Structure 1
């Protein structure tokens, strides 16, 4: 005979659990409902996810939204206020990284400290990186930044149609020189070619949400020949590229040092200072990983930002003209800009800030991981959640940036033309958050600044015309990924005067 008391207790317990679960779900941040088991896996678009996250944030009237990806809780942060509260003020809880099986295991990027857990290994690598790229140290690289910027002008003069290739060469030349002391070839440099393939791999594999294996890790064990396992085959190819970027330039430096031919560089300094009682093999792995990480960060920012600058100047010629007027007034037409001009060129600096806001290099910050339960605005944020900063939403928030899709450098300026000091936090969002903010941002911004100032001084950027004289409009489309770039577009680079050619040649010789 059934014990009615036992039945009553079971029913009561079931009801209590049901009420608890409903209350718990109601206390989570709002978000799309999803389906059983898989949750919101099919709600997230494969490309430009940040647009969907921003739309949901508006739809649910919440600056944090919640997604369930096959049982993995995901919290997306869509406002500067929430980002500051969580990533900055509560950084101890939000500084860990999510382990992405596609990137960390299948593509093999465990060496990259950007994607490492918040622990001793990360601290060691961050400390090494900071030694060479903190704000004061980065000033020492300005002569090389000036040199590669003037080489860029020469390349744009000779073959303007290949401007994106020239940007990659500029970025590669700078980073390879600083980190490895390698002088790249004028064209078709093997180190740059290898790194570009690896950069594409990291951008795609590191795009959280793009691969189902990141949320259903058991899929990493699926054989590569299995139907639907194309991601495994792709990862194997990408791993070859990332391994090559990690190993080849490092081996070139060690060989040059053995032969007494090494140029000054980060790696040469680190290896020279290595003490005899230290674990040489382990330290070399640390150093090679830090150097490769420097390449991925610095190169991506320069190429993406300058590509967006070229596009913006085609779409907003009046702004191009305003910036050129300032450059002409301060620098004149008989020399090229250098870093000593920066304090006197606030409009150019505002233009750089607007490029980084208008089309952020990384629209979604690399995901963080919440290490314990937390509460924000009354919402329960579960321990273990993937927490993603939506950089795009923050930098396109109409409350801070009216008409956010418009390119308006003036938003960074006071009425007297000086730079606004109250916009600093918004600018930093372009480089991540909290303790995991990009440590190479000083060098990256300086490289972009001198590139933009140099181009404005020497060229008019114009929409080209076809054979019938019709203007060719740029599409304005972008590639989606961890790092975004403009899709191919045409741009005419017209020297601003007859003396520009001589000025560029002289500047190249002087650098």
Structure 2
């Protein structure tokens, strides 16, 4: 949902499925970003003179990797932008950031430069908004699996407010404070960008759940959403959209799915793994480049990406399954 939402918002394009070329492009581009952003990931970080070594020589493997990553990044930047431009020319464009920005260009100034800025800005929004949102949702699922009391209390709130045969909407948000608290606690418990040291330190200053004490909301706890998205000039410009996407995903999952710990063949409960691999962004769903885990564990000390864990996720009822199938391609924004 996160990738589809951001592509629609930024470019006005529709995503067909998980293997959609636009989704694939951003996943491939992220591989290079995540690996290269780690201090000391390559020997050239310690010995800058290696950047002058020919590609074919030993210790120059990073150059070959960077060329591939640049190729993927170029595709990610150009492909959706060109598709949006094509829709605009054909009169098929949907409302989007790209459409509004191109329409607002100053025709008396350098058009090519303005288009380049719009394209780069769109790519930044595209890159920053897709995986960060889905990562926060993935960490929330881990939290719900590990805290069944919280999940059950959230289910009770959902059923009381909207009933068992409906999906939550944004109009229900004020009536679902416990769901909102879960979404905010997910941002605090496993912040999406742990490499941002000051925010990570603020959010993790306490070893106990700030928002939940014995399954109840602590009204005096500081709002994690006021911290997780940064401050001042560097605050996340998409914070409200991102949190709304996280909220509607969590609310919809709790309304329609039974989420619990997995059980083995002998009926024994399998405790979820809480092991994390360090990274720029907390990843839970996408494949990593060879050596990724080793590099992260050795060069960043902040826990980041949850390793795969077993859990049970299934529709709570046939009616809930019908709701899920009926809204597979629904638009929330």
Q: Report the TM range for the smaller structure's normalisation.
A: 0.7 to 0.9
TM-score by length of 1: 0.56
Partner Cα separation in structure 2 for residue 277 and residue 215 of structure 1: 47
Q: Are residue 489 (structure 1) and residue 291 (structure 2) matched?
A: no
Q: Are residue 299 (structure 1) and residue 107 (structure 2) matched?
A: no
Q: Are residue 393 (structure 1) and residue 192 (structure 2) matched?
A: no
User: Would you say the 8 A contact 1:346–1:418 is kept in 2?
Assistant: no
Partner Cα separation in structure 1 for residue 182 and residue 33 of structure 2: 28
Q: Secondary structure at the match of 1:499?
A: helix
Residues 1:439 and 1:328: Cα distance change in structure 2 (over 3 Å): same
Selected match of 1:480 from 270, 278, 285: 278
Q: Are residue 456 (structure 1) and residue 257 (structure 2) matched?
A: no
Q: Deviations over 1:218-267 (max 9, x none)?
A: 44333333322332222222111111101111111112222222222111
Q: Secondary structure at the match of 1:261?
A: coil
Partner Cα separation in structure 2 for residue 396 and residue 447 of structure 1: 23
2:237 matched to which residue of 1? 439
User: Would you say the 8 A contact 1:459–1:493 is kept in 2?
Assistant: yes
User: Would you say the 8 A contact 1:347–1:409 is kept in 2?
Assistant: no
Q: Are residue 500 (structure 1) and residue 320 (structure 2) matched?
A: yes
Structure 1 residues 84-483: aligned runs within 5 Å: 170-211=1-42, 213-214=44-45, 217-365=48-196, 389-397=197-205, 401=206, 403-404=207-208, 407=209, 409-410=211-212, 417=217, 419-420=219-220, 423-424=222-223, 426-483=224-281
- Number of aligned residues: 309
Instruction: Return the offset for 1:419.
Output: 4.7
Instruction: Return the offset for 1:328.
Output: 1.5
Structure 2 alignment gaps of length 5 or more: 284-305
Residues 1:419 and 1:218: Cα distance change in structure 2 (over 3 Å): farther
Partner Cα separation in structure 2 for residue 229 and residue 391 of structure 1: 35
Partner Cα separation in structure 2 for residue 267 and residue 307 of structure 1: 29
C-alpha RMSD of matched pairs (Å)? 2.6
Q: Secondary structure at the match of 1:241?
A: helix
Instruction: Return the offset for 1:430.
Output: 2.1
User: Would you say the 8 A contact 2:264–2:270 is kept in 1?
Assistant: yes
Deviating beyond 6 angstroms after TM superposition, the runs of 4 or more aligned structure 1 residues are none
Q: Secondary structure at the match of 1:248?
A: helix
User: Would you say the 8 A contact 2:12–2:96 is kept in 1?
Assistant: yes
Structure 1 alignment gaps of length 5 or more: 1-169, 366-388
Q: Secondary structure at the match of 1:450?
A: helix
Partner Cα separation in structure 2 for residue 176 and residue 334 of structure 1: 30
Partner Cα separation in structure 1 for residue 37 and residue 330 of structure 2: 40
Instruction: Return the offset for 1:197.
Output: 1.0
2:290 matched to which residue of 1? none
Q: Secondary structure at the match of 1:494?
A: strand
Instruction: Return the offset for 1:319.
Output: 1.2
Larger radius of gyration: 1
TM-score by length of 2: 0.84
Q: Secondary structure at the match of 1:464?
A: strand
Residues 1:220 and 1:442: Cα distance change in structure 2 (over 3 Å): farther
Instruction: Return the offset for 1:183.
Output: 0.6
Residues 1:230 and 1:510: Cα distance change in structure 2 (over 3 Å): closer
Instruction: Return the offset for 1:216.
Output: 5.5
User: Would you say the 8 A contact 1:346–1:419 is kept in 2?
Assistant: no
Q: Secondary structure at the match of 2:309?
A: coil
